[in-house]
Structure 1
Amino acid sequence: MYDIAIIGLGPAGATLARLLDKRFKVAAIDKKQNGAKGFHKPCGGLLATDAQKALSRFDLTLPKDVLVDPQIFAVRTLDFHTGITRHYQRFYINLDRHKFDLWLKSLIPHQVDVFDDGQVTSVERKKDGYEVCFKQGDTEHCITATYVVGADGAHSLVRKLLYPNKKIRSYVSIQQWFSESNPKPFYSCVFDPENTDCYSWSISKDGSFIFGGAYPAENCRIRFERQKEHLQQIGIRFGKVQKTEACLVLRPSKFSDFCCGFDNAFLIGEAGGFISPSSLEGISSAIITAYDLSRVLNSGTSNPNKAYRKITFGLRVKLFSKVLKSPFMYFPPLRYFVMKSGIDSIRIVS
């Protein structure tokens, strides 16, 4: 019997496990293994300024082996609808996402029972809490906890238990790694309304070139390949394929899409829809919601679900404001006006 069971140890779950008071008996179940093997989160691995700010409140410094080359300070933005290209200054940190997740996980104190390589199979409401069953290899375990926290991303089992009828807008994120064959490393942001009403990206990383995008589920792989052909036509080179990754990504479209949980169950990070609808950046919200929930649970309040909804209200408003911002990025006539004007763009001198 545990006080708290955390499902998933990405940035949200690992941060919460690290910040909970020692008086709690905590179980944390994670698909990753402590090494190169096991589950890897499909992610480009750029730490945005909001995520850097969220980490800075803990006075943490990134270890050197988490960082990768190169560090680039401009994003090449391509709009296939209008043919306009602009460069915008951005202060991303280029990192190895798997090593970043393992580093955050390594900060979890020893009193937390961490179950590595654990695949959760069910979460059920019981009389005195929740029963969580999971597999480690061929062995199945079941534990009970007073509180359960879903930090298990877009496919969250906890969210499906609490909100079985909620449908948050989602896309299939497809990403491929290639051997680098472009003459110069770069980041890019691609708008291609023919293939997706979201966006695509490319990243140079330690001798590899990554291209990925978020696509409607129908014909998602066809859209992805067609977009690669478009990029090849304008001179972007794709070397030998090293690996292909895919996952579901949420893209909230209304205020009610941000789910906090109820009945002693909580959702943090993308499991609760806490992800930017405009950029799909989610690490900052993962860290913030984990910090907020740790404050609520550590306080011993009699109604933690109500307190968590209250403390996250500002973040939910901020994320919803990005729903309102999205038309300026994704509505072609408005995007054309912004990019044509050159507002905030920088001139690249060759």
Structure 2
Amino acid sequence: MYDVVIVGSGPAGANLARLIGDKYKVLLIDKRDLESQNPKNFANKCCGGLLAPDAQKMIAKLGLGIPKDILVDPQLFAVRAIDLTNNLERLYQRFYFNMDREKFDRWLVSIVPTGVDKKFNSFFKNFAEIPGGYEIGYIYNGQETSTKTRVIVGADGAFSKLRKFISKDINIPEKYISIQEWCESPDYIPYFTAIFDEEISDFYSWVIPKENYLLLGAALRPRENTREKYNLLKTKLTQIGFNFHNKIKTEGAYIYRPKKVSQFYVGRDGIALVGEAAGAISPSSAEGISYALKSSLYLAQSLEDGIDGFLDRYKQKVKDIKVNLLIKNLKSPAMYNPLLRQLAMKSGLQSIK
């Protein structure tokens, strides 16, 4: 009988396990193998691997420091914004850490207390209420198994099975498909790139230099010719000078885009949601690591006084996340409304030459 079973060991799940692992009996499960150096089946997180200032602040607040081998070249301090709809460009100073996302997740798992049980290569299937808690079913190394717990935490991202089970698809944030290709690149590019094009998406696309590669990614609406639009994006960027040689691999994932505060949902009864599973992700930039770390910290603090009443305490603590999401949604039109974006970029406000 566990006190807490955490489904998903990305930043939200791993950080929660780290914070409560010495107080509670915890089981951490994930479909990836984040401990083996040569995993049999490892799916990389589809992520540009940029650590935003808000995430840097949370890492500082948690009293952590990132090992240098997680960072990758080049470390850049500018973002080139390309508005293909309005045929405009600007350069803006920004402070992101360029990192290896897989190594970042592995590092967070490596600092989880040794008393936490970790079951990787595991797929969560279902749960049932039992006296005193829940029984969950999952597949571990190909074998179906089950265990009992007082609390379940969903840290399983935008395709959260737990959220689907407990919310009945009510107030689910809008889903996008993130597609990202890694291509060999002999060129040195001294900036990250954000692309806005209404023909491609009402969200945004990105180009990120990483070691000897260029990452080309886009957040696209599902079931709207996503592959064709991605290829069109690549063609348009090639025409303005980008070179995408020798594709190495393609990654894909669903991401949430919460456009209403009501789409942020932290769970019910003895089931809590953290990170993107709760809808905690920026609707303007799709940055999620800071929200993952913050929501998992709040949940850990809510469990400090015991399990009884923890969810009510958690709901109180996350009010500032709701306010933050509201502010981000109020700012989004300046980025995603073509006319407002045109006015902002033409003004040159906060841009650099």
TM-score tier, shorter chain, comes to over 0.9
Letter in 1 for 2:215: I
2:71 — aligned with what? 67
The 3-state SS of whatever aligns with 1:335 is helix
Give the superposition deviation at 1:301.
6.1
Give the superposition deviation at 1:246.
0.5
Give the superposition deviation at 1:336.
0.3
The 3-state SS of whatever aligns with 2:268 is coil
Computed over aligned residues only, the root mean square deviation of the Cα atoms, in angstroms, reads: 1.2
Alpha-carbon distance between aligned partners in 2 of 1:181 and 1:219, rounded to the nearest angstrom: 31
The 3-state SS of whatever aligns with 1:135 is strand
Letter in 2 for 1:319: L
Given candidates 289, 293, 299, the residue that maps to 1:293 is: 299
Alpha-carbon distance between aligned partners in 1 of 2:235 and 2:21, rounded to the nearest angstrom: 52
Given candidates 228, 234, 250, the residue that maps to 2:234 is: 228
1:32 — aligned with what? 32
Letter in 1 for 2:298: D
Give the superposition deviation at 1:132.
1.7
Letter in 1 for 2:26: V
User: Structure 1 residues 319-328 or 120-129, which shifts more?
Assistant: 120-129
Give the superposition deviation at 1:130.
1.7
Contact 1:172-1:247 at 8 Å conserved across structures: yes
Given candidates 55, 79, 84, the residue that maps to 2:83 is: 79
Give the superposition deviation at 1:279.
0.4
Alpha-carbon distance between aligned partners in 2 of 1:266 and 1:310, rounded to the nearest angstrom: 13
Give aligned pairs, total: 347
Alpha-carbon distance between aligned partners in 1 of 2:346 and 2:25, rounded to the nearest angstrom: 57
Contact 1:182-1:236 at 8 Å conserved across structures: no
Letter in 1 for 2:265: C
Contact 1:129-1:145 at 8 Å conserved across structures: yes
2:247 — aligned with what? 241
1:187-266 pair list within 5 angstroms: 187-217=192-222, 218-266=224-272
Letter in 2 for 1:3: D
TM-score (norm 1): 0.97
1:10 — aligned with what? 10
Change beyond 3 A, Cα 1:207–1:185: farther
1:153 — aligned with what? 157
- The CA deviation string for residues 133-153 of structure 1, in whole angstroms up to 9 with x for no partner, is 111222222111110000000
Alpha-carbon distance between aligned partners in 2 of 1:36 and 1:95, rounded to the nearest angstrom: 20
Alpha-carbon distance between aligned partners in 1 of 2:204 and 2:286, rounded to the nearest angstrom: 9
2:180 — aligned with what? 175
Contact 1:123-1:157 at 8 Å conserved across structures: no
Is there any run of 5+ residues in structure 2 with no aligned partner, and where?
A: none
1:343 — aligned with what? 349
Given candidates 51, 56, 71, the residue that maps to 1:52 is: 56
The reply to whether residue 325 of structure 1 matches residue 327 of structure 2 is no
TM-score (norm 2): 0.96
